[in-house]
Structure 1
Amino acid sequence: MSFNSTISLKILLVEDNLGDQFLVRQYLMEEFPKLSLDIAANFRDSKTLLSKSTQPYKVILLDLSLPDVDVETLLKETTRLAPRTPIIILTGQEDVRTAIQALTLGCADYLLKDEITSKALRKSITYAFERKHIDRQLESSVKKYQQLFQLNPQPTWVINNKTGNFLEVNNAAINNYGYSKEEFLHMLINDIDKDFFTLDLKKYLTERKTLKNTPLHNHQLKNGKTIQVKLYVNPINYQGIEATLLMSIDLTETESYIRKIEEQNQQLMDIAWEQSHLVRAPLTRMMGIINRLEEKHMDHIMEADKECALLLKNALSSAHEIDDVIRSIVKRSSSSNK
């Protein structure tokens, strides 16, 4: 959103000198056709105007030398009453140092009264307006980042690359690990992850990779329990500090499930081996005996006892069926473990 001098501009001028009031009014009217100007000759009147105004002021022009208040109180109270309004200081030569100090307190700019012109005033107001707008955007971005950071369901930290201490921690880390935020901020990453700095972290930060192919890390919880986690990292600049954004995903239960599945697969392989070797061995012998009986005695049996011959054939057929079933089970067990 850029500043447009043709829009209606509501300004508060806090100035006790009538001559300066007149000049500033004239300069403003030259540059801003749709001007709405309120003038306060002292601190008391400015407080009343700021408190009762139904529409916020776009800019406040503030003289620091008012008869009824000291500079510190003036700046503090004006900022409190209009926290989102840019303040431009109007000052004399003797108050330049004070005006510069006021900039550190959040004021947008200062103008020397002896050097004020309509163009200079317009430039300063435009700059102050744009700077305030940018500050609001930055503030909004920071809030959104904080919300995303805190609402992340996975434990997440910001870590100082040089010292390894925690700079920030989200609610998920506090809830899952058991440490309070104050405790985390007095700890190092090594306090929960002894192997963290054994990683080639610089490589991952430079190439902006996650730690996907690294082994799982053991993380120590406050209650003494150890969990296995997968780590993800990204480099960030945190308040001027080179830092790492670290996120952990607890895979303890997943690893437990995997181990159980591996154990079950091993059991299936053992069963398949037993069926293949222990069960099929006597079955094969039985089939061989039946085959041998058929070869040597079937003719005699057929003549002597047809029912016995039929039972012998059924026994051999059943043995073959059992053998086929065992082979099928062994085959399926072997393929499921590949």
Structure 2
Amino acid sequence: MQETRALLESSKYFYIIISDMNGNYSYVNQHYADEFAYIHENFVGEPYYITMHEDDRKTCEEVSLKCFANPGQLFPAVIRKHDGKGGYLYTQWEYQAMFDEENMPQGIFCLGYNITQFVADRQNLEGAIDKIEKTATLLTQISFQQSHLIRAPLTNILSLSAILEKRSDDEQLRKICLMIMESATKLDLTVREIVENIGHNQAES
């Protein structure tokens, strides 16, 4: 940990913080100090939770307990930090328990970085996927309705018109029947094309 701390002391991307057994900051690297300077000008001695969303304190406590129960292991945590504008930054961390030479617990070493853009991109992607799924469901419903609920009555109209046209002696009525059959046939063809296009688009996606 000392090597990591020395290596990343001046990092522009990674945060390093160390909290003592009282839950107060005992060390922060410059990047962390600069990033959250609007919260406090000197974090050392301040409670670890002053930068974070209230609900994420429980996450920190749970991960810290895992660290002390499993010395030498790293445990991840995503923590929301105040952004100074009424919102939050998302940060990804790895925690590891610190022990002295006599194996007594000394605190928690935390290495983290900002994942706000990643979280935003993922949320946008999930939103797009959800929209696509809803659209696909709607298209399936439309396809079913057009294929079954519309074409079935159209078929009946075609059949009844054909029967009426053949049985009628009234020339004017027969012409009307033929016009109905022609219009119904065109409508049936249009519905068929719509259903086929929906099926084709869903297969491509």
User: Same fold, TM exceeding 0.5?
Assistant: yes
Aligned-partner residue type, residue 88 of structure 2: T
- Alignment partners' CA distance in 1, 2:4 and 2:91: 27
The 8 Å contact of residues 33 and 42 in structure 2, kept in 1 or not, is answered as: no
- Alignment partners' CA distance in 2, 1:284 and 1:274: 15
Q: CA deviation at 1:184?
A: 1.4
Is 1:154 aligned with 2:14? yes
Aligned-partner SS, 1:149: coil
Write the deviation string for residues 161-213 of structure 1: whole angstroms up to 9, x where unpaired.
x122222221221232225996112322122245165214132242544333x
Which residue matches 1:204? 67
Which residue matches 1:135? none
Superposition pairs of residues 59-78 of structure 1, within 5 angstroms? none
Structure 2: which 5+ residue stretches go unaligned? Answer: 167-173
- Alignment partners' CA distance in 2, 1:144 and 1:191: 25
The TM-score, its normalising length taken from structure 2, stands at 0.65
| Structural RMSD (CA) | 4.1
The 8 Å contact of residues 66 and 75 in structure 2, kept in 1 or not, is answered as: no
Aligned-partner residue type, residue 265 of structure 1: I
The 8 Å contact of residues 16 and 28 in structure 2, kept in 1 or not, is answered as: yes
Is 1:184 aligned with 2:27? no
The 8 Å contact of residues 97 and 108 in structure 2, kept in 1 or not, is answered as: yes
Aligned-partner residue type, residue 219 of structure 1: K
Aligned-partner residue type, residue 156 of structure 1: I
Write the deviation string for residues 284-319 of structure 1: whole angstroms up to 9, x where unpaired.
443123312332334748x96989866644432331
Which residue matches 1:95? none
Which residue matches 2:117? 253
Which residue matches 1:170? 29
Q: How many residues were matched structurally?
A: 188
Is 1:230 aligned with 2:89? no
Task: Name whichever of 166-175 and 291-300 sits farther off.
Answer: 291-300
- Alignment partners' CA distance in 1, 2:4 and 2:122: 38
Structure 1: which 5+ residue stretches go unaligned? Answer: 1-141, 334-338
Aligned-partner residue type, residue 320 of structure 1: R
- Of the three residues 189, 198, 203, the one matched with 1:326 is 198
Which residue matches 1:271? 135
Which residue matches 1:288? 152
The 8 Å contact of residues 155 and 176 in structure 1, kept in 2 or not, is answered as: no
Aligned-partner residue type, residue 190 of structure 1: Y
The 8 Å contact of residues 63 and 95 in structure 2, kept in 1 or not, is answered as: no
Which residue matches 1:93? none
- Alignment partners' CA distance in 1, 2:133 and 2:140: 10
Higher relative CO (Cα under 8 Å, sequence separation at least 6) belongs to: 2
- Alignment partners' CA distance in 1, 2:157 and 2:41: 86
Is 1:316 aligned with 2:179? no
- Alignment partners' CA distance in 2, 1:220 and 1:169: 17
- Alignment partners' CA distance in 1, 2:4 and 2:156: 85
